[in-house]
Structure 1
């Protein structure tokens, strides 16, 4: 299993759960995750390929907000590239791609979670300053400054995960070979135990801290707009949709993994003899992994709500009957203005012919 909280694998050298509980095995993971992850990949590719096309060929100007969203798109592609290898390993029942790809695969999947959370938070904070503090220097970021912010975000995301590349995560041999982040404390080195502990701390902190910031930004934007934009509920709703979309994707995709990680951690630490609780949280962790990578399919919703440029470019690219909102109005305006000018020209030509 590729989540650290699932602690055992079948075969030689496999460890056991806390307090000597028998191995959990990978049967549940092999049944649930392949179809769920396949859906994640298919939906993610559909949404993100369209988003990539919009960003690369339809957007005429790139503001900081669009740069932040484009980097969120890059983070999603990390998961979409790595998940097919994991699906193949689940269907085969063993890993066939070697140690190097195992390390890279795990690094990309865990980095996707961290990068998605960090970039969603950046988008929400930037929206907060644009709405609540429109004259703040943050709202006047240039593209170069936004690129520096993004470089810092990627550095903070990648640095804690880089040690994963230094260790082999291959367990077993032959048709029993598995690519797992962690199996059991008994067979792991001290360095790997420390790495797993650090990962668990990051899993919780990188969820709790952004959640506090997202909640603060949403409440402040809502209260500010209700005070300043009284009588204009459409503007309030439009701004709140952005925060609501980010918070919804955030909670749906990352809350279950965080809760189950804390659960396994608590059982290991305070109830190592409780095999039933250990199995329950382990199985819930397996199920939550499918939601963890669903963010790659749901992030295009954030692009639509967070960027008016992206939304207009998308709508204008659709067939006319499917165009939405302003794009349809713009098209009809252009059409009506063209018809009106043609009619005026015809009337003018009729007057000229009469005069002649």
Structure 2
């Protein structure tokens, strides 16, 4: 009896190995998921109608397409990939992080989540660079990009985004932890597989480079306000400045926390490998920060409104027509009642 108890204690202290992969500082404590669940449900409740309206505007109300509209449209497509994937994460969180949908869908789900993040960053950056050239270098050939050229660029961006995330489809991302099946693209690997190294590198680099580019474009566009523009040109520059600032804020709020907490966890693992308490706390913060990443699908419709009058004007007309129709219906009902 005593020997059996000792074996149970010893096995509980062994690092978890799955698929011949040793886990670093694997916590026996289940991660808190209430915050993540509430936040993810909020993202679906807000993001689904917001992006549905956006897609309706793009498909049926915009008659004149320009390069930046094409970029915004593809940003909306990326958001739809996220919204399709989130209900599976919600169910998993409600199950205490237990993934019940199988290994294949685990890979596909994490692939779609990663593609959304990469595509959102890519097309936010594309819109910002387009605004930058329109204001700061109006005579540059980039400022006169045709819709066909924008379509080719869009295709290239999707190819790069998907190529960077294909490794997630080639490796098993479903791990057994006690009675739970964990489906994560970020795990506490002792030795990180090459596919995951590429995933980690893309996660960090795809934020840092565009972030500095956004700051540069925002600063240059803002400085253009001090030039001797006509009143009409100043108005255009102000709108461009607001659009780029909104994009930069959404970008920073949604994507920076995940990168900062992820780098903190990597630092602790590299320089303080035995401090498992600090490491697991950093991982917990990272997982919560990744949930904030999903917020971009809820905030992107705000970007559409600030980035283009071609989107904003049809939206205003649709809302006004809806109100006018509702008012007419009310007046007709009152007239019928009087009669």
> TM bucket by the smaller chain?
0.7 to 0.9
Which of 46, 59, 67 in structure 2 is aligned with 1:64?
67
The answer to whether the 8 Å contact 1:17/1:23 transfers is: no
**Which residue does the alignment assign to 2:328?**
none
Find the residue that maps to 2:193 and give its secondary structure. Answer: helix
The answer to whether the 8 Å contact 2:218/2:241 transfers is: yes
Distance in 2 separating the partners of 1:203 and 1:183: 14
**Which residue does the alignment assign to 2:238?**
237
Task: Tell me whether 1:33 sits opposite 2:36 in the alignment.
Answer: yes
**Which residue does the alignment assign to 1:23?**
27
Find the residue that maps to 1:59 and give its secondary structure. Answer: coil
**Which residue does the alignment assign to 1:293?**
294
Structure 2 runs not aligned, ≥5 long = 1-13, 325-339
The answer to whether the 8 Å contact 2:265/2:282 transfers is: yes
Across the two proteins, how many residue pairs are aligned to each other?
Answer: 307
Superposition TM-score, scaled by structure 1 size: 0.80
**Which residue does the alignment assign to 2:164?**
160
**Which residue does the alignment assign to 1:198?**
198
**Which residue does the alignment assign to 2:337?**
none
The answer to whether the 8 Å contact 1:11/1:172 transfers is: no
**Which residue does the alignment assign to 1:140?**
144
The answer to whether the 8 Å contact 1:99/1:168 transfers is: yes
The answer to whether the 8 Å contact 1:124/1:246 transfers is: yes
**Which residue does the alignment assign to 2:309?**
308
**Which residue does the alignment assign to 1:354?**
none
Structure 1 runs not aligned, ≥5 long = 1-9, 324-356
Which of 87, 93, 101 in structure 1 is aligned with 2:90?
87
Alpha-carbon deviation of 1:139? 1.6
Find the residue that maps to 1:178 and give its secondary structure. Answer: strand
**Which residue does the alignment assign to 2:334?**
none
The answer to whether the 8 Å contact 2:265/2:279 transfers is: yes
Distance in 2 separating the partners of 1:254 and 1:304: 21
Which of 128, 133, 152 in structure 2 is aligned with 1:129?
133
Alpha-carbon deviation of 1:96? 1.7
Give the superposed CA RMSD: 2.5
Q: Deviations along 1:116-158, whole A, 9 cap, x unmatched?
A: 1111001000111111111211122121111110011111111
Distance in 2 separating the partners of 1:227 and 1:182: 47
Distance in 1 separating the partners of 2:22 and 2:323: 56
Find the residue that maps to 1:62 and give its secondary structure. Answer: coil
Distance in 2 separating the partners of 1:174 and 1:23: 11
Distance in 2 separating the partners of 1:47 and 1:321: 17
Instruction: Give matches, 1:257-272, under 5 Å.
Output: 257-272=258-273
The answer to whether the 8 Å contact 2:43/2:295 transfers is: yes
Alpha-carbon deviation of 1:199? 1.9
Superposition TM-score, scaled by structure 2 size: 0.84
The answer to whether the 8 Å contact 2:135/2:237 transfers is: no
Alpha-carbon deviation of 1:277? 2.2
Find the residue that maps to 2:164 and give its secondary structure. Answer: coil
